Structure 1
Amino acid sequence: MSLSIVDRIFKSEDFVSTPLQKGEYDCCIFDNCNFAEGDISNSSFMECEFINCNLSNVNIAHASLKEITFKDCKLTGAQFHKCDPFLLSFKPNNCQLNFASFYNLNLKGIKFTDCNLQNCDFTQANLSKAVFHNCDLKNSQFDQTNLKDTDFRTSFNYTFNPEHNQLKGAKFSKDQVLGLLSHLRIKID
Structure 2
Amino acid sequence: MVKGARRPEVRLPVLEPFAGGELEPDGDYDGVEFRELDLAEQDGGGARFMDCAVTGCALDGTRLRKARVLDSVLTGLRGVGTDLAEATLRDVEVLDARLGGVQLYGAVLERVVVRGGKIDYLNLRQARLRDVVFEGCVLVEPDFGGARLERVEFVDCALRSVDFTAATLSDVDLRGAVELGIAGGVGRLSGAVISAAQLLDLAPVLAGELGIRVEG
**TM-score interval, smaller chain:** 0.7 to 0.9
The yes-or-no answer on 1:178 pairing with 2:205 is no
Indicate how the Cα distance of structure 1 residues 179 and 12 shifts in structure 2: closer, same or farther if over 3 A, else same: same
- How far apart are 1:46 and its partner, in Å? 1.5
Residue 113 of structure 1 deviates from its aligned partner by: 0.6
Of residues 112, 115, 119, the one that matches 2:134 is 112
Q: Say which SS state the counterpart of residue 196 (structure 2) adopts.
A: coil
Q: 1:35 corresponds to which residue?
A: 59
Secondary structure of 1:176 counterpart = helix
- Structure 2 match to 1:16: 40
Structure number with greater CO (CA < 8 Å, separation at least 6) is 2
> Could you list the per-position Cα deviations for residues 127-166 of structure 1 after superposition, in whole angstroms to 9, with x for gaps in the alignment?
2321111121121111232233221112122336787214
- In structure 2, stretches of 5+ residues that fail to align are 1-24
Q: Mind listing any 5+ residue stretches in structure 1 that lack a counterpart?
A: none
Runs of 4+ in 1 over 4 A off after TM superposition: 160-163, 185-189
Q: CA deviation at 1:51?
A: 0.4
Amino acid aligned to 1:73: A
Matched, 1:158 2:185: no
Q: Is 1:28–1:47's contact at 8 Å kept on the other side of the alignment?
A: yes
1:6 matched to 2:30: yes
Residues 14-163 of structure 1 aligned to structure 2 (within 5 Å): 14-16=38-40, 19=42, 21=44, 23-83=47-107, 85=108, 90-155=112-177, 156-159=179-182
Q: Distance in 1 between matches of 2:131 and 2:99?
A: 20
Contact 2:89 2:112 in 1 (8 A): yes
Summarize the Cα distance change of 1:164–1:174 in structure 2 as closer, same or farther, 3 Å threshold.
closer
Distance 2:32 2:155 in 1: 31
- 8 Å Cα contact 1:70/1:95 also seen in 2: no
TM-score, normalised relative to structure 1:
0.82
Asked if the contact 1:45–1:68 (Cα under 8 Å) also holds between the matched residues in 2, the reply is yes
Deviation of the 1:90 alpha carbon: 2.8
Note the alpha carbon deviations across 1:43-84, whole angstroms, 9 max, x for none. Answer: 33221211011143112234332222110012321111144x
Percent identity for Structure 1 against Structure 2: 18
1:12–1:20: structure 2 CA closer, same or farther, 3 Å change rule? farther
For 1:150 and 1:2, locate their aligned partners in 2 and report how far apart those are by CA, in whole Å: 34
Over 3 Å counting, the alpha-carbon distance change for 1:118 and 1:178 in structure 2 is farther
Distance 1:159 1:77, change over 3 A: same
Which of 162, 167, 178 pairs up with 2:190? 167
Amino acid at match of 1:72: D
Count the aligned residue pairs. Answer: 185
Whole-Å separation in 2 of the counterparts to 1:117 and 1:73: 11
Q: Is the 8 A contact 1:159 1:182 kept in 2?
A: no
Query: Aligned partners of 1:178 and 1:160: how far apart in 2?
Result: 16
Contact 1:120 1:141 in 2 (8 A): yes
> Letter of the aligned partner of 2:121 in structure 1?
F
Comparing 94-103 and 53-62, the one that deviates more = 53-62
TM-score by length of 2: 0.73
In the superposition, relative to structure 1, how do residues 77 and 177 fare at CA in structure 2: closer, same or farther (>3 Å)? same
